Chains A and B, each alone.
Chain A
Amino acid sequence: MTALDRLSQIIPPDQALANKALSVALQQITNISSLNLPRLANAVSNVQTNFGLPLVNAQKSAVDPAVANSLVNTLGSGSGPSGTITINDSMGIAAGVVVANAMANTVTLINSMDLSDLVSIYNDIQATASGTYGPPEGPIIIATGPAAGTYDNINAAFSGQMANMTSNSAGGNGLIPSVNSNVIPALITTYPSQTANLNTNWNNMMTQLNSEKTIQESASVQFANLLPNSNPAIYSFVISIPSYGQDTSANSSFQYLESVADLTTLGGQSLVAALRQGQTNINSTGIATSSNVPVAPNPPPPEAALTPSQYPYPLPPTS
């Protein structure tokens, strides 16, 4: 390169400076070295600019950070990096995502608690509904427990009745208020750690369910409204299995399908095998393991007898 210090000794210094600045500027044009001057002239003459778009021209970065953050916050509801969405976020419950462990934890926690009072009042609900404590139209007499009292009718027994209007005697708290305000609070007091852990597990399951329903709504997928017995859907799924097999990031297609594959069946095991085969294809270097089955009909179908497509010789006389 002839730098400015030398060029200034060759041509007038101001022209040297202008040429060097122009040289630097031109080299900032993408791929300019691959063009000739007429092509550059044509490109310059036809290039589109943001003239008349002041808000666009006022941007200090390619994408305004506020716009980027807004997009990420709006769309990034998943558990992947930057909130990217995985298939586990979208329909993970069928694969046991979150719920399998949370339910196992729930059972463990419940088994560590004495829930006899809860069972007792649930039994009272059943007995009341079954008429054991009196007919639906009353009076209903619950003798013991937090809902003990005499009630006008079954609705009062369930919802509570502080003063019995019919018998002019004291009523009771009612079955449902007693569960919510007496029995369960007492269990929370007795088992603060277990109940806190129960809440954590149930909230986790609730979060998972909310996530799935929200994503499905955003994707306009309503399982209840999908078409049953759709063979094209099955064909499409099967043809895509190799690509699903290549999706090995956490909580994505391969992992999900392994979780729902019914390994007690040949079909389920073949699904996993097909996924692994898809994975093998990208891990190997030039060694394809597809072993595809030929698709050409065997035996081939008989050829149709079609009308002649060539002129006869000699041509028949024209009429």
Chain B
Amino acid sequence: MAQPASLLTPFQLTVTDSLLHNQGISVNAQFVTKMATFNNLPYITALTDAIAAATSPGAQLSPTIYPELYSLGSGNCAALGDSIPVHTGNIAYPGNVLFGNLLLATAYSYMGQGPSGGAKNLSIFCQGFGALVGYNGITNNFINSAVNSQNYLGGTYTNADNMVSGGITSVNICTAQWGNDLAKLGGLIDLNNLDELGTPLALVQQLASLGGITPDIALYFTNAGVSADVVVNLASPTVNASDADQKAMYAAMTQITGTPLSQILKIMGITTTNINTMADLLNPYKIFPTSFQTLTVTGTNGVSQNIYTNPDGTVNSTLNQYLPKIALSSLS
């Protein structure tokens, strides 16, 4: 049988031998000493002698009276009767036992000893200690998690759906329809370039990354007035295009239909219906035909708003009140 290279330290080996012989762990010595001192106080020895005499068979005292001997002073000063104090939260304890002895017997029980001490059985201690350390750890996980749950998500909690969907339902709660629309878009959107979503350049760059720019597109762009250096470098991921160039690109895209458009859709894997021009690929209303009505955005006010207000694709004009400034203004 394969064995681990090492398992135990020299100290652990020594502890093991001690525990197997029930040595090395004991009820706290200071507590035992204090209990001995307490039990030797004159009033305690008088009390224990009195109880021993009263509960001996020769005394013929009714056993129904015994509990009263073990509860002297419990209601006003239990220490003077060494009795279990009347206390909120008390649970049931064995009857006919003095409080000091109950404490000591409890401590001894943790060591596998009898009520008065005697031989230890430290495997009892090991079992109890391990079980309670484990229980405490698990319980504390629940407690700490409950406390931390009040600051969980740093105040960004929106609703239960978003919590379980990783935020997907914050974009569209009708996941089946939206997922279907997304699946038909092939590779249209670069999810690592969402800041540029909607720009003609981002669309062209994504097309280039998937299959390349067809000569037809370059021709359309040139005819629309896009700068020559931009047209030449359309396939470059680092190409820069001015807003004027991009506006011209968009104008060109509105003219790209038919076979050139089909080639583009094929390259990008798009099967969405009713895409009539390349420019339609920049219109969420067109690319999410079965789910656009439930597209939503959570604004800076924490409120979810519909992006479209009706089945005709009218955009919610109040959206810009609650979008982040960085999304609204180039000067932010």
Contact = CB atoms under 8 A, between A and B. Distances in A.
B123 A230 contact: yes
Given A100-B28, A210-B89, A210-B90, A2 B59 contact: no
B275 to A, nearest CB: 14
A240 B319 CA distance: 59
B239 interface: no
A171 to B, nearest CB: 16
Interface residues of B, number: 170
A152 interface: no
B124 A17 contact: no
Interface stretch (B166-174, B212-220, B221-229, B256-264): B166-174
A183 to B, nearest CB: 8
Determine the interface band of chain A, counting residues with CB < 8 A from chain B: 35 or more
A115 B42 contact: yes
Interface in B58-77: 58-62, 65, 68-69, 72-73, 75-77
Nearest to A82: B147
A247 B196 CA distance: 51
B310 interface: no
B81 A184 contact: yes
Q: Which of A10, A11, A210, A226 has the most CB of B within 10 A?
A: A10
Contacts of B130: 233, 236-237, 240
10 contacts: A3-B330, A23-B195, A38-B186, A85-B143, A122-B43, A126-B52, A203-B87, A218-B135, A268-B23, A295-B6
Interface string B7-36: 111111111111111011111111100110
Contacts of A111: 41
Interface string B87-106: 10111000000011011001
B143 A75 contact: yes
A165 interface: no
Interface stretch (A47-55, A141-149, A311-319): A47-55
A95 B28 contact: yes
B43 A241 contact: no
Nearest to B37: A107
Contacts of B198: 2, 7, 11, 15-16, 18-20, 22-23
Nearest to B153: A62
B144 interface: yes
B24 A268 contact: yes
A238 B12 contact: yes
A72 to B, nearest CB: 5
Contacts of A292: 5-9
Given A83-B143, A209-B106, A24 B28 contact: no
Contact of A199 (B77, B121, B152, B186): B77
A226 B124 contact: yes
B189 interface: yes
Contacts of B173: 49
B62 A155 contact: yes
A239 B41 contact: no
B61 A37 contact: no
Given A43-B179, A128-B54, A238-B19, 7 more contacts: A2-B198, A23-B198, A75-B142, A94-B107, A184-B77, A219-B136, A268-B18
Contacts of B3: 295-297
A49 B329 contact: no
B237 interface: no
Given A93-B107, A94-B28, A229 B153 contact: no
B19 A154 contact: no
Interface string A255-287: 001011110011110110110010000000000
A128 B54 CA distance: 8
Contact of B91 (A15, A115, A214): A214
A93 B102 CA distance: 11
B50 interface: yes
A28 B327 CA distance: 13
B187 A233 contact: no
Contact of A273 (B11, B54, B314): B11
A21 interface: yes
Nearest to B103: A99
Interface string A43-71: 11111111001001101011101011101
Given A22-B284, A198-B80, A295 B7 contact: yes
A235 B110 contact: no
A164 interface: no
Given A87-B133, A295-B8, A63 B185 contact: no
A189 B219 CA distance: 109
B232 interface: no
Interface in A240-258: 240-242, 244, 253, 257
A94 B65 contact: no
A268 B143 contact: no
B243 A62 contact: no
B230 interface: no
A6 B79 CA distance: 84
